[in-house]
Amino acid sequence: MKKLMLVMLIFVIAVGLTGNVLAADAKKKVRIGTEGAYPPFNMVNKSGEVEGFDIDIAKALCKEMGMEPVFVVQDWDGLIPGLVAKKFDCIIASMSITDERKQKVDFTNKYYLTPARFVAKKGAGFTISKEGLKGKSVGVQRATIHENFVRDMLGDSVDIKAYATQDEANMDLVAGRVDLVIADATVLLGGFINTDAGKGYEFIGPGYTDKKWFGDGIGIAIRKGDKELKEKFNKAILAIRANGVYKKINDKYFNFDVYGN
């Protein structure tokens, strides 16, 4: 009887220890929602793996926090619903910190800030104003700050065509189905203008960073109430900015400091 009780006690302790180990392992993982269709910030390579500036930053932040990143690819307009539904623990996908989004999720401090710009065919001679673009068509990625901006700024004078991804908008620009596109300037430069498809195209007009539309920069979206994860990410952002890791990743993709002012 004593032997049986001893065996049972050992079994209970072993199960408890195993459970604790598994719980500890689970705590070390952070599930990160990302789009995978926004080069050079996040994209899916030929091997089916996500890569890009957002991904490298996510890996560096997780290393700093002692956590393991697990990436979950999700269409852009499903990212916030997916976070709220606990499909992942955070979003690292070049998401701007805006008041509208803050109603649904929390954000870390920014990890970069770049302006929005329009792109059109070289020599198009467009003036960025309601009068200058009257009757023209503008391509933009759906459910983004850029769509909000162009609808507010030009909505009653241009034909706005919204797309699931920025690449689709760019392709329609090349095909002549839209006259201009608008997106993050860095995305348009690296993912379009500097490619073979974008050789005949250029930026027109100024860069736009108005807080009303573009918020406080690009941050990491966290589920509301998850203060612990938010604080860990904020500390990690400061750490990689200070220890040179951020600059190393920055210089891999850009020849300027994408962090902004």
Tell me 115's DSSP state: -
Band of pLDDT at residue 38, cut at 50, 70 and 90: very high
The pLDDT of residue 193 is 96
User: CA 90 to CA 227: how far, in whole Å?
Assistant: 12
Peptide bond into 40 cis (omega under 30): yes
Specify the pTM.
0.81
- Where does residue 224 fall: left (phi above 0), alpha (psi -120 to 50 degrees), or beta otherwise? beta
Tell me which residue of 65, 42, 69, 37 sits closest to 55, measured CA to CA.
42
Query: Is residue 22 predicted with pLDDT exceeding 60?
Result: no
Please tell me which residue, 256 or 166, carries the higher pLDDT value: 166
Express each pLDDT in 48-71 by its tens digit.
999 999 999 999 999 999 999 999
The pLDDT of residue 46 is 95
SS3 2: helix
Query: Is residue 198 predicted with pLDDT exceeding 90?
Result: yes
User: CA 7 to CA 104: how far, in whole Å?
Assistant: 51
Q: To the nearest whole number, what is the mean pLDDT of the chain?
A: 91
Domains and CATH numbers, the chain: 2-113+217-253 (3.40.190.10), 116-214 (3.40.190.10)
The pLDDT of residue 127 is 96
Express each pLDDT in 90-106 by its tens digit.
999 999 999 999 999 99
